[in-house]
A and B are shown apart, each in its own frame.
Chain A
Amino acid sequence: MLQLLKIEWLKVKNYKAFWIFTILYLVAILGINYTGFYTNSLTVQNLPASQIVLGSPYSFPKVWQTVGFMSSWLLYFPGILFIMLLTNEFNFKTHRQNIIDGWERKEFIDVKFVFALLFSLIATLFNFLVALLFGLITTGSHFSFEGIENVGYIFIQTTAYIMFAMFLAILLRKSGAAIAVFFLYGLIFEWLLTVLINFKLNLEPVGYFLPLQVTDVMLPIPFGTKVIYKNASDTWILTIAGIIYILGYYFFALKKFTKDDL
């Protein structure tokens, strides 16, 4: 696997879009959380009573969840990046050439998913550092590992978003189509489906188990305890569902790529 990852690294190392997307994404994680941090402190400063509702989202232990929630809005960035990394291969027909030159078809898929996993790990680590930073600079906040499981949820959510995007790229093969479906589904249709399933059909909490939604519910908005996802299932059930989706994307990609003509 190390040998395969080295080759994957050769592919992205000199790919400008990879660095631009990655750096923008990481800067945006810092930026969106600074915006949240600053807005929160302004609100509390101007309207002290608001703290009853808001709590102190950037203090330990809440900060782990807050950063996870805020950063989750940025997951379309790495999603698009991985759609491009895959559709580039289809456009350049290098997915064929890699096999012709002597990769197993399975190796092509394995290394892409392991690379995505490593990318998620780094993004999670960065989120951890950002949470640590804001937790430490918030006055009256003392470092605590309480709620650290939220960092684990960030990892599962990041992985699920990226691999859902990869699933779309492998299914649709065209970057434009995959990106359009990714956005429309993630930002509009999945919410619509959740609402329809949960409230129109009264099947709550089934609607929370849609592929992206299930990880969103793991990291809910950090104040107004359980207003939005009132009847959501326990987090451990959501976690298992998220992992099942991730495995599902991988096995779908593996089956499609190993059985079809390339």
Chain B
Amino acid sequence: MPILTVENLSKFYGPVHALKNVSFSVPEGTVFGILGPNGSGKTTTLGTITDILKPTSGSYRLFDEPASAASRRRIGSLLETPNFYHYLSGKKNLEIAAAIKQHGKEDIDRVLETVDLTQRKNSKFSTYSLGMKQRLAIASCLLGNPNVLIFDEPTNGLDPVGIAEIRELMKELHHQGKTIIMASHLLDEVEKVCTHVAILKNGELITSGKVNEILSGEDIIEVAASDNKKLFEILLKMNAGIKVIDESPAIKIFFPPGKADLAVVNSYCFNNGIILNHLMLKRKSLEARFFELTNN
């Protein structure tokens, strides 16, 4: 059962076309990253599925049903910024969130402990640091142990230790079988915690699918010999990989992911009378792949 299905979602802010016919689906038990640069429509997408924005056209379903307040109560959501009553303590704020989600108070101490805020639970929200506010927002998402979580830039404002803790928490939640939908502009974050990804750019969905399929670039074998010109000719005849480019002092052979075999290249060159003085397997960096995708 897909947890979330988005169908042809479009959104205008006045003349600005913030989302253009976006469709994707989030399978159960995945960590689904919505990746894109600032202003690409990530928060607009999440705002729509949490009913704080009205789409211009298109529809979405939660838990394979038409979305409702009841379906939102089954999801822990953190959108954009931590939104709490400044004059109330962290604990009192969670009591309100728990009451809206129709849970009792029994879970509050557990979630505060999870995000390491027990010590400051009775301090006013307005006295919290940015990182503590973010952690309180994550605690609020965890109330009632929901099976689906929505995180918009979950590591925003956290220090490196906090970032590591939250990523660990997300992995832990994933292990428990929960579905996590998160927006991020941090490629490295998506790569580290997500199983699936949808890439947005200027409100358009560029691609979506499994992280290791979408973000894995080609494999590249770099070779060099004393006579690169001859080596290049021989490699062209070999007809291996996708393409061969002479970038002396090294020649690059491009393969689909997982198809590069150093031994095959080495023995082929040797059998054709060329001794390689350089042989190396390189993976195209994720950044390069991401820029390639978003520059199309």
Which residues of chain A have a CB within 8 Å of any CB of chain B?
Answer: 3, 6-7, 10-11, 14-16, 88, 92-94, 96-105, 107, 259-262
Contact = CB atoms under 8 A, between A and B. Distances in A.
Interface stretch (B97-105, B194-202, B218-226): B97-105
Contacts of B96: 7, 10-11
B72 A100 contact: yes
A103 B83 contact: no
Contacts of A11: 85, 88, 96
Nearest to B68: A104
Nearest to B99: A7
A101 B95 contact: no
B144 to A, nearest CB: 10
Given A99-B52, A102-B100, A105-B51, A92 B84 contact: yes
Contact of B51 (A16, A93, A94, A99): A99
Nearest to A108: B100
A261 B54 CA distance: 6
Given A6-B99, A97-B83, A261-B54, A102 B73 contact: yes
Contacts of B102: 3, 102
Interface of B: 47, 50-54, 69-70, 72-73, 77, 79, 81, 83-89, 92, 95-97, 99-102, 140
Nearest to A104: B69
B102 to A, nearest CB: 7
A14 B50 contact: no
Given A7-B100, A10-B96, A14-B92, A100 B79 contact: yes
Given A14-B88, A93-B83, A261-B53, A100 B77 contact: yes
A248 B86 CA distance: 31
A262 B72 contact: no
A102 B71 CA distance: 8
Given A96-B79, A261-B52, A262-B53, A103 B85 contact: no
A105 B99 CA distance: 16
- List 7 tightest A-B contacts by C-beta distance, closest first: A102-B73, A97-B83, A93-B83, A101-B100, A262-B52, A102-B72, A100-B50
Contacts of B87: 14-16
5 contacts: A96-B52, A99-B52, A100-B50, A100-B51, A100-B72
A94 B54 contact: no
Contacts of B85: 11, 15, 88, 92, 94
A92 to B, nearest CB: 6
Contacts of A100: 50-52, 72, 77, 79
B59 to A, nearest CB: 17
B156 to A, nearest CB: 15
B83 A92 contact: yes
A261 B55 CA distance: 9
Contacts of B89: 14
A62 to B, nearest CB: 43
Contacts of B86: 92
A228 B51 CA distance: 51
A184 B84 CA distance: 32
Contacts of A107: 69
Contacts of B50: 99-100
Given A96-B52, A98-B100, 7 more contacts: A7-B96, A10-B95, A92-B84, A97-B79, A100-B52, A101-B77, A104-B69
Nearest to B126: A92
A3 B102 CA distance: 9
Contacts of B47: 261
Nearest to B54: A261
A257 to B, nearest CB: 11
Nearest to B143: A101
A102 B70 contact: yes
Nearest to B89: A14
Contact of B81 (A93, A102, A260, A261): A93
B54 A260 contact: yes
Contacts of B72: 99-102
Nearest to A96: B52
Contacts of B51: 99-100, 105
A259 B102 CA distance: 25
B183 to A, nearest CB: 14
Contact of A102 (B69, B92, B95): B69
B86 to A, nearest CB: 6
A234 B89 CA distance: 51
Given A14-B87, A16-B87, A92-B83, A97 B95 contact: no
